Amino acid sequence: MPVNLRRSSGANTEQREGGHRRAFLGWLTSVGLFGSAVLSAFSNFVFIKPRATYGAPQRFSIGKPEDFPAGTRIAIESRRICVVREGEKLAAISTTCTHLGCIIGISDTGFACPCHGSRFDQDGNVTGGPAPRPLPWYKVSLAPNGEVEVDKDVEIEPGSYLNV
Amino acid sequence: MSAATPPKPAPPAPKPSLVGSLLSLPSNVWSSIFRNPLPGNDVERSATSFTNFFLHIHPVKVHENTLRPLYTLGLGLMSFFLFVILVVTGILLMFYYVPSTTQAYDRMLDLRGSVAFGTFLRNMHRWGAHGMVAIVFLHMCRVFFTGSYKKPREFNWVIGVLLLLVTLFLSFTGYLLPWDQLAFWAITVGAAIAGYAPVVGKDMQFLLLGDANVGQEALLRFYVLHVAVLPAVLTLLIAIHFWRIRKDGGLSRPAESEVQPEILSAPGADVVVTVKAVQLEPKKTYGLQGLVRGPLIKTGNVPDRSVFSWPNLLVAELFTFILTLSVILVVSLLFDAPLEEPVNVMHPPNPAKAPWYFLGLQEMVSYSAFWGGIGIPTLFVIGLLIAPYLDRAPGGVGKWFARERLLANTTFLTFVVVNVILVIIGTLFRGPNWAFVTPW
């Protein structure tokens, strides 16, 4: 079928009289359509980003201070923390590797990651391997009922303990 | 004005009797579906390709270079057929699979223990997926080493790179679904790598996992990506990839002028019409053919080096399909897909390894998480995407390892060899704590 590429005969006069309006309306339509597309795409991301998660809570109780005798380092693997008790002082160190998120085991010299061989000292400082950052320390507090509460959303200065 | 008699109306066709209709029912149904008999001459061969929905993706004729097995190695078709096998086996597996952390692993055991052909289908799906990653990569190597990404095929190469990435992502999302130790820790490592991306890394990881850690939300998300989103994206990209092959003038081949210069310059030879690019004249009326880009009409004594798609191309495709399917069937009969212990969130295997095609990445990550996991891979992908826009020298298209493409081919070969070596190191030479071990 032949394709006629010519504009309709009235195009020239129309262009002279309504050219600006036409271009403006065209521009407005394009921006409107493109903007709507971008907004729709963005709203998809808003939708798939959960507001509440179904997984384990970030703030939780780990029991009475007496459960952690002085001088022990007890890993609570389900919470991915290691509870350190020195005398009357208590702290919670993350056991999630800062490299790629594997669970770190307690070793003689501190912590060791099984995935890529990162090693940390007793305070969580990197002593070897690819880990880029020391292990974070989490905020520990005493709840009114006398239980120790850990908040993994709040990282604190390494070396700061809770006196119990 | 002539006194032309109006044309006589044709005598009405005899009214078909019911018995006659019943007798001719099979042939009438057949001919209403297939509009052509099996072709016996060239006109019918053309018509067959045109009028069949499944065949009209083919051109009526293809250049004979397209059909040289040692030129293409059939790798692109193999990738496509593997995708088809994966779609079929994947849909069948969906009938039994439940994307739930409490059920997924049990369903894997059921597949093995109580579902007819369950193990076999899972084997086909797993080995097909591994095969597709490998074949797509080899297809990319073929296209590069024959210079086939050059103008006008630059954009199809870009689509091809995207296809490779989507294939890898499909394979990666499928890896989590059995919910065994291998799956869980490979995805934990992979998602953490995504978290190293600057600015958006943490958000990307959170969006992917739907939670702070790999769990039920991550399993559901990976399932949706694996069975709906990514296959749809891949199908669309494949459609564009195939369509562009036609529109870019078929598969690459040596330039015609290199083959037959004497004919073009022969005195008295008929004009060879070669429309390089069409300049549209707004004042002119065009036939549809006038808008089509590329060499249009071959006249005179230019040797026609094309052959009919039916049956030449179809036989080649059928052979490739049967070859691909047989290999997958035999491998699936001989080897069972691995299934490790159920997920134990407390105890990562040591070493925790990603799927083999990501072990090169993991090896690089063990040196530097950002550069190994994000920086260098991003540079690689960008390099692949813009390769056809950097290497614009026209020569050397259509033959393997052309001498004039020594620099480009050497660069790409280095890229391939480095990747393969990293994968081999990560697969065979890394033991507990990612320490160097020897496999023997």
How many residues are present in chain B? 440
Give B288's contacts in chain A (Cβ within 8 Å): 1-3
Give A43's contacts in chain B (Cβ within 8 Å): none
Indicate the average pLDDT of chain B: 85
pLDDT category at A16 given cuts 50, 70, 90 is low
Instruction: For residue B311, say if its preceding peptide bond is cis, omega within 30 degrees of 0.
Output: yes
- CB contact at 8 A, B61 and B249: no
**Contact check, Cβ <8 Å, A3/B346:** no
pLDDT category at B1 given cuts 50, 70, 90 is very low
Nearest-CB residue to B217 (from A55, A102, A130)? A55
Considering only residues 346 to 385 of chain B, which have any Cβ-Cβ distance to chain A shorter than 8 Å?
A: 346-352, 362, 365-370
Give tens-digit pLDDT for A85-108: 988 888 999 998 888 778 888 888
Probe site for chain B from A116, A127, A133 (most B CB atoms < 10 A): A116
pLDDT for B439 beyond 90: no
Residue A46 corresponds to which tokens in the numbers above?
């808003």
- Put simply, whether B185 touches A (Cβ < 8 Å) is yes
Q: Given this model, what pLDDT does residue B201 score? A: 83
Residue B199 corresponds to which tokens in the numbers above?
């600015």
Considering only residues 94 to 153 of chain B, which have any Cβ-Cβ distance to chain A shorter than 8 Å?
A: none
Cα–Cα distance, A64 to A44 (Å, whole number): 44
Q: Which residues contact B86 (CB under 8 A, 6 or more apart)?
A: B125, B128, B129, B132
Give B285's contacts in chain A (Cβ within 8 Å): 2-6
- Put simply, whether A6 touches B (Cβ < 8 Å) is yes
pLDDT category at A14 given cuts 50, 70, 90 is low
Q: Given this model, what pLDDT does residue B440 score? A: 74
Q: Which residues contact B360 (CB under 8 A, 6 or more apart)?
A: B419, B420, B422, B423, B425, B426
Mean pLDDT on B140-167: 95
- CB contact at 8 A, B251 and B245: yes
Q: Given this model, what pLDDT does residue A51 score? A: 85
**Contact check, Cβ <8 Å, A6/B349:** no
φ, ψ (nearest 5 deg) of residue B347: -125, 95
Q: Given this model, what pLDDT does residue B261 score? A: 43
pLDDT category at A25 given cuts 50, 70, 90 is very high
Q: Given this model, what pLDDT does residue B39 score? A: 86
pLDDT greater at residue A43 or residue A14? A43
In angstroms, the separation between the Cα of residue B304 and the nearest Cα of chain A is 28
- CA distance readout (Å), B184 to A79, B102, B216, B348: 17, 13, 11, 9
Nearest-CB residue to B207 (from A1, A48, A78)? A48
**Contact check, Cβ <8 Å, A53/B280:** no
Global pTM value: 0.82
Judged by phi (left if over 0) then psi (alpha if -120 to 50, else beta), residue B249 lies in: left
Cα–Cα distance, B381 to A153 (Å, whole number): 35
pLDDT category at A52 given cuts 50, 70, 90 is confident
Q: Which residues contact B180 (CB under 8 A, 6 or more apart)?
A: B105, B108, B339, B340, B341, B342, B343
Cα-Cα-Cα-Cα dihedral of B200, B201, B204, B209, to 10°? -160
Cα–Cα distance, B192 to B186 (Å, whole number): 10
- CB contact at 8 A, B185 and B191: no
Q: Given this model, what pLDDT does residue B256 score? A: 65
* Residue B267, burial from CB neighbour count under 10 angstroms (0-12, 13-18, 19+): exposed
Within 10 Å of residue B126's Cβ, how many Cβ atoms?
Answer: 23
In angstroms, the separation between the Cα of residue A28 and the nearest Cα of chain B is 27
Nearest-CB residue to A45 (from B185, B207, B362)? B207
Give tens-digit pLDDT for B360-380: 888 888 787 778 888 899 999
In angstroms, the separation between the Cα of residue A158 and the nearest Cα of chain B is 22
- CA distance readout (Å), B356 to A57, B76, B134, B272: 34, 22, 10, 52
pLDDT greater at residue A2 or residue B17? B17
- Ranked by mean pLDDT, which of B74-83, B301-310, B334-343 comes out on top? B74-83
- Put simply, whether A57 touches B (Cβ < 8 Å) is no
Residue type, B327: V
**Contact check, Cβ <8 Å, A114/B215:** no
pLDDT category at B16 given cuts 50, 70, 90 is confident
Size of interface A-B (CB pairs under 8 A): 108
Calculate what percentage of chain B has a pLDDT beyond 70: 87
Cα–Cα distance, A113 to A102 (Å, whole number): 7
Q: Which residues contact B389 (CB under 8 A, 6 or more apart)?
A: B154
Give tens-digit pLDDT for B30-88: 988 887 778 888 888 888 888 888 888 888 888 888 888 899 999 999 999 999 999 99
Place of tokens 């597309």: A37
In angstroms, the separation between the Cα of residue B207 and the nearest Cα of chain A is 6
Q: Given this model, what pLDDT does residue B275 score? A: 45
Residue B258 CA, distance from chain mean position: 30
Give tens-digit pLDDT for B129-140: 999 999 999 999
**Contact check, Cβ <8 Å, A114/B349:** yes
pLDDT for B303 beyond 80: no
| DSSP helix/strand/coil, B286 | strand
pLDDT for B218 beyond 70: yes
Give A56's contacts in chain B (Cβ within 8 Å): 213
Q: Given this model, what pLDDT does residue B363 score? A: 86
Residue B264 corresponds to which tokens in the numbers above?
């073009």
* Residue B111, burial from CB neighbour count under 10 angstroms (0-12, 13-18, 19+): buried
φ, ψ (nearest 5 deg) of residue B337: -65, 140
Q: Which residues contact B266 (CB under 8 A, 6 or more apart)?
A: none
Give A48's contacts in chain B (Cβ within 8 Å): 207, 210, 221
pLDDT greater at residue A154 or residue B261? A154
pLDDT for A57 beyond 50: yes
Within 10 Å of residue B144's Cβ, how many Cβ atoms?
Answer: 24
Give tens-digit pLDDT for A105-158: 888 888 988 777 788 998 899 998 878 889 999 999 988 888 899 988 888 888
Place of tokens 């990653």: B133
Indicate the average pLDDT of chain A: 84
Residue type, B272: V
Beta strand pairing call for B306-308 and B61-63: antiparallel
Residue type, B271: V
Lowest mean pLDDT among B4-13, B210-219, B233-242: B4-13
Question: What are the E-state strand segments in B231-378?
Answer: 285-286, 306-308
| DSSP helix/strand/coil, B283 | coil
Place of tokens 């071990």: B437
**Contact check, Cβ <8 Å, A115/B367:** no
pLDDT for B293 beyond 90: no
φ, ψ (nearest 5 deg) of residue A130: -85, 0
Instruction: Nearest chain B residue to A58 by CA: give it.
Output: B212
Mean pLDDT on B20-32: 91
**Contact check, Cβ <8 Å, A116/B348:** no
- CB contact at 8 A, B286 and A3: yes
**Greatest CA separation found in chain B?**
101
Mean pLDDT on B320-335: 96
pLDDT category at B260 given cuts 50, 70, 90 is very low
- CA distance readout (Å), B68 to B249, B313, B345: 17, 10, 52
pLDDT for B123 beyond 60: yes
Radius of gyration of chain A (CA): 30
Give B432's contacts in chain A (Cβ within 8 Å): 114
- Put simply, whether A109 touches B (Cβ < 8 Å) is no
Residue B401 corresponds to which tokens in the numbers above?
């390892």
